[in-house]
Amino acid sequence: MRIDIITLFPEMFEGPFNHSIIKRAKDKGLVEIHLHQLRDYGLGKYRQVDDYAFSGGAGMVMRIEPVAELIEKLQSERTYDEVIYTSPDGQLLDQPMANTYSTAENLIMLCGHYKGIDERIREHFITKEISVGNYVLSGGELAAAIITDSVVRLIPGVLGNEESALSDSFQDQLISPPVYTRPQKFRDWEVPPILLSGNEKLIREWKYDQALQRTKERRPDLLKEDE
């Protein structure tokens, strides 16, 4: 997989992309992540990428020309499955969406800034708008990092144990059941005996029941009415 991220602040990705699972995926050659500084395509002596909005109003707007030039340059070099814009009014990121994009070959992500981007960018270049929550961030970089992490970890070969991703919260519309490790007893708090029984069938049933109960209590919005 190749992910091209268009940003005004590429240095913001140094931490998330150079450690842990994403770094492992890069080292294995399972994903390429390319950061593109939008100012390199800015206008004039000062590489301008923003301007005042027509009709006035507070905040600056990202201009269409630098974005169009960079996206068209990338698209001339390869075919992209999606051109994603990180936007608070986009579709809310969820696990099924991450699953879908984990099979993509090439993705572009545009990180928004200021008051937003010229609407013509959204109309003519963007194929998918994604939000990571019902709140506003100072820029799209954190959202792009979240989307990238949620997708890359699902690529086969990235995680040490392939079953790990399959048992994540939300994969089956349930949140994960509680998990325990050693010691078996700490103070007066003990691990549930069923987990030590070695009976895989009973353990699976216990985990499902726990996941269902936890989802009912904490995220009932995930459940269908008949569950």
| Cβ-contact 176, 207 below 8 angstroms | no
pLDDT tens string, the chain, 227 residues long: the values are: 999 999 999 999 999 999 999 999 999 999 999 999 999 999 999 999 999 999 888 889 999 999 999 999 999 999 999 999 999 999 999 999 999 999 999 999 999 988 899 999 999 999 999 999 999 999 999 999 999 999 999 999 998 755 556 556 577 789 999 999 999 999 999 999 999 999 999 999 999 999 999 999 999 999 976 55
Domains annotated for the chain, with CATH where assigned, are 2-152 (3.40.1280.10), 169-222 (1.10.1270.20)
In this prediction the pTM is 0.89
Cβ-based burial of 169 (10 A; exposed 0-12, middle 13-18, buried ≥19): middle
Sign of the torsion formed by the C-alpha atoms of 131, 122, 16 and 38: negative
**Rounded distance, CA 46 to CA 38, Å?**
12
Specify the pairing of strand 106-111 against strand 82-92. Answer: parallel
**CB-side neighbour CA atoms (13 Å) of 212:** 9
